[in-house]
Amino acid sequence: MNKLLIENNAKRRYDVDWLRVLALGLLIIYHISVVFQPWAYLIYFVQSEKPVESIWLAMGLINIWRIPLLFIISGMGVSFAMRRRNWKELLKDRTRRILLPLIFGSLFIVPVHGYLYQSFVGLDHIYFPNPGHLWFLSNIFIYVLVLCPVFFYLKRNPDNILLRLFKRVLKFPATLYLVTIPFIFEAALLVTPEQRFEAYANTPHGFWLGLLAFFTGFLFISIGDAFWQAVGKIKGLVLGVAIPLFLVRMIFFQFGGPFYLIVIESWSWLFAVFGFGATYLNHPSKKLTYLSKAVYPVYILHMIFLYLASDLVLTRPVHVDQAHTIMAIEPDSPATEAGLLPGDQLITKFEDWKSGIPLEINVNRKEDSFKISVTPDEKGKIGADFIPIPFFIPRYTESDISTLSAFLQFILINVMTFGGCFIGYEMVKRIKWLRPIFGIKPISVRK
């Protein structure tokens, strides 16, 4: 059994390398697409003057499986990394490859694109270190720490009941759908009514879904060829399940819907991706060798070049409105008397509030907008607690920019973002001390 496990693990999966490249490439295109959505400001993205909401049809298709795919591939990567490492060597390698770029990126990369965002919307510049788009790395590092004992137990005991059960049920490939059960329970328990399934970043749902996907990816590699044979056999079937479920989600639920249907659709796409990948992508190439090395630093850098390209291509807003979101309201307060509710967004500046002087405030409540009058108390308050950081809604002058022109802007920003990222990678890889902080392996010297 040990010999069999070693033979299975010894096979390099070029399709997994390709899927990692493609998944991170889709992530960058997804982020560029957000810029052209009317709600981009809600996640502190720069926002185009003219929305191109039709782009979101494609993004809506991938949105429920793009991040789970990355977590699954990351779990697979840990299984590959354990082939020739003990637990100390694995933690050292993951610290160097994940934690170091995360810390560097949080201190320097994310604040740079934060500066560019502040410039675009006309805000005062502040230094605000945070993980930003690198939240994914912090999750992975935690998963490695938490699951390391379990992984090495499974490695030392390859004939364990879990792997034997997996291999046995995969004699019937359709039983792969049993994998969806814990994900359905996770979504039912942790996705709140106000939240969408695809709200992954910095949410309990995103963390636990990622943990489950990471562990599942590790198991898929640990059971060897049985998984790849199963997805290869049912790739057409699962694609036939995924497409109708997507159409149902789009037409009847506006990209929402019952969580059990979303999870089943998500995994149908994932099984199809792995099945077609195993069939058509599992071979080496010079292009793959280059891209697999470049994709990680490109991912780290892409938000800087996305915002640079956006600033060069798009029109800056004339001004921004501050939208303060109410978290809670005190009883018998001016906010209660005015009919305000938790979740309302008030378009106002707190410095304009004066004790006893009525305010006319524009309010956003879900899909509705209206105006209310409220009079602050003697302390200049209205009896409401707000989310600490407001949203900044960009406002533009009237423009006749067409949807076609906006779509061409979208294409141009894609070209400039990817071009800038690859130029950045070519520069970084040539500077020895920069390589490790961008997740690039040291240059090996042959003796």
> Could you say which of 3.40.50.720, 2.30.42.10, 2.60.34.30, 1.10.10.10 is the CATH number of the domain covering 319-395?
2.30.42.10
Summarised one tens digit per residue, pLDDT across range 398-444 is: 888 999 999 999 999 999 999 999 999 999 999 999 999 999 988 76
Position 250 scores a pLDDT of 95
Q: Which residue has tokens 């707190």? A: 350
Position 267 scores a pLDDT of 98
Q: Which residue has tokens 């590092």? A: 141
Position 10 scores a pLDDT of 53
For range 227-244, the mean pLDDT: 97
Q: How does residue 195 score in pLDDT terms, banded at 50, 70 and 90?
A: confident
SS3 state at 8 = helix
SS3 state at 45 = coil
Q: Which residues contact 408 (CB under 8 A, 6 or more apart)?
A: none
Task: List the domain boundaries for the chain.
Answer: 2-315+417-438, 319-395
The CA angle 213-217-218, to the nearest 5 degrees, is 120
* The residue type at 439: G
pTM for the structure as a whole: 0.93
Position 25 scores a pLDDT of 96
Position 351 scores a pLDDT of 85
pLDDT of 3 above 80? no
Alpha carbons 71 and 357: distance in angstroms, whole number:
53
For range 95-113, the mean pLDDT: 97
- Six token digits for residue 447: 């003796």
SS3 state at 387 = coil
Residues in the chain: 447
For range 385-406, the mean pLDDT: 92
Alpha carbons 346 and 321: distance in angstroms, whole number:
10
For range 207-224, the mean pLDDT: 96
Summarised one tens digit per residue, pLDDT across range 335-357 is: 999 999 999 999 998 888 989 89
Summarised one tens digit per residue, pLDDT across range 114-171 is: 999 999 999 999 999 999 999 999 999 999 999 999 999 999 988 888 888 888 888 8
Average pLDDT over the chain, rounded to whole? 93
Q: How does residue 7 score in pLDDT terms, banded at 50, 70 and 90?
A: very low
Position 336 scores a pLDDT of 93
Position 5 scores a pLDDT of 42
Within a 10 A sphere around the Cβ of 283, how many other Cβ atoms?
9
Least confident of 12-16, 95-99, 164-168: 164-168
pLDDT of 1 above 50? no
